[in-house]
Amino acid sequence: MPAKKSVIAPEVFQLKVTLLGTMPPIWRRLLAPADLILAQLHDVLQAAMGWQDCHMHEFSAGRRHFGKPNPEDRLMGIPPVENERTVRLASVLGRVGAKALYTYDMGDSWEHGIVLEKRLPADPGTAYPVCTGGERACPPEDCGGIGGFYDLLDALGDPTHDQHEELRDWVGDDYDPDAFSIEHVNQMLTPLRRRRDKTSRGGSPAR
């Protein structure tokens, strides 16, 4: 009788993800299965950072670019991207210290540095992916990139600013740039764990 296929990943990558250009930095530390495909990693990053997945994205490492291929790119002279649904995390970050870039929203250009900090054996008692640390909330969507984000914070922090009330109404009274809840992030990651487990057991493909 064939051996039952294990749903436990053979290895887990400890990743540190930092929103580049932020100071103090906005960051998350994640444990993700090494065999995660990049399309799934995109979902993990969206949930962990707090984005809403409203815009295009792309991964890059060295000269390689990964995303959703568009046949028209070649006709327009744009270098083609590798399909993120066929590339696994371990093939992009193969050694400790390796780095990749995740860009979200090509207009605001939110660039996230991803660093492989450790390669760890999977814990059979832990459901992956999981967030183990982080600091500060991600910027509001569509606020104009890093420059727009810090202009927004200046206006929110100055009641005499001529746009203070307008921007406070736009961003909402509950927005706190210093807020971070590891429990909330892991709650947001829960559906991704369930989806991965279902796929590992022979269910429908992820995404």
| Per-residue pLDDT tens digits for 166-183 | 999 999 988 999 999 999
Rg (CA), the chain: 19
pLDDT band at residue 9, thresholds of 50, 70 and 90? low
| Per-residue pLDDT tens digits for 102-140 | 999 999 999 999 999 999 999 999 999 999 999 999 999
Which position has the higher pLDDT, 94 or 184?
A: 184
pLDDT band at residue 70, thresholds of 50, 70 and 90? confident
pLDDT value at position 69? Answer: 86
Q: For the chain, what are the domain ranges?
A: 12-137+178-200, 140-176
Question: Is 12-137+178-200 a CATH 3.90.1170.50 domain?
Answer: no
pLDDT band at residue 6, thresholds of 50, 70 and 90? very low
pLDDT beyond 50 at 88 = yes
**E strand intervals along 44-140:** 57-61, 64-67, 82-83, 99-104, 110-120, 130-135
Q: How far apart are CA 39 and CA 41, in angstroms?
A: 5
* Stretch 4-31: mean pLDDT: 86
Q: Which residues contact 177 (CB under 8 A, 6 or more apart)?
A: 136, 137, 139, 153
Which whole-number Å values give the CA distances from 35 to 24, 93, 136, 188, 196, in the listed order? 32, 11, 28, 21, 11
Residue type, 87: V
* Percent of the chain clearing pLDDT 90 (strictly above): 79
Q: How far apart are CA 108 and CA 66, in angstroms?
A: 19
pLDDT band at residue 3, thresholds of 50, 70 and 90? very low
pLDDT beyond 80 at 90 = yes
pLDDT band at residue 201, thresholds of 50, 70 and 90? low
pLDDT value at position 74? Answer: 67
